Amino acid sequence: MRLWEKWNTKEFSEMRFDAWNMRYKDLDDFLEQYNPVTGSHPEAKHLFGSWVTFARTIGGLATLRRKNLIEIDFLDGAMINDIYNFWYNFGQVAYESTEKRIPLFGGNAPFIKEVIDYDRIRRPWMYDKDSGEPRGPSDPNIELTWVKPEDVIELRKKVYQ
């Protein structure tokens, strides 16, 4: 229950909002802007801290799920939306960092895939009928590339074997 309480605090909500508003072209641009030590963004340290906190919390959920300490339907509602949005915004970072062997959060891809597969069943209208990909943000100014979690899973197998 502490996890649920933390997820719904004003502070954690602000961190999620900070993370979702980070804009970048690719991994190099992401690191150039948001590296907490050398980033060019004026709030790089704060934004990276928010992003890391959010990513680690999702990693914590992944660990709980992997150890069968939570069921996938525990995440129903706000948590699934947040995990979905996190991957939508940062799946590209996961893929590129895996390619370059930079340990960010690509290891959470199996959990993300499970969440998205569950969500496809729960909310099919959120996904394209033909491709199965999410419909994406409604803001036309946001250009994000959907990265399939299974692509990161396969890449990790290749890179780390």
pLDDT of residue 142: 57
Residue 1 has pLDDT above 70, yes or no: no
Per the CB < 8 A criterion, the answer to whether 72 and 115 are in contact is: yes
Look at 16-25, 101-110, 147-156 and tell me which has the smallest mean pLDDT: 101-110
Q: State pLDDT tens for residues 64-82.
A: 999 999 888 888 777 888 8
pLDDT of residue 50: 92
Please name every residue paired with 134 in a beta bridge, in sequence order, or none if there are none: 127
The residue behind tokens 């993370």 is 19
What end-to-end distance do the CA atoms of the chain give, in Å?
38
pTM, entire model: 0.82
pLDDT of residue 143: 63
Residue 139 has pLDDT above 80, yes or no: no
In degrees to the nearest 10, what's the CA dihedral of 9, 117, 31, 25?
-110
pLDDT of residue 104: 79
- How many whole angstroms separate alpha carbon 148 and alpha carbon 69? 25
Q: Is 68 left (phi over 0), alpha (psi -120 to 50) or beta?
A: left
pLDDT band at 40 (very low <50, low <70, confident <90, very high): very high
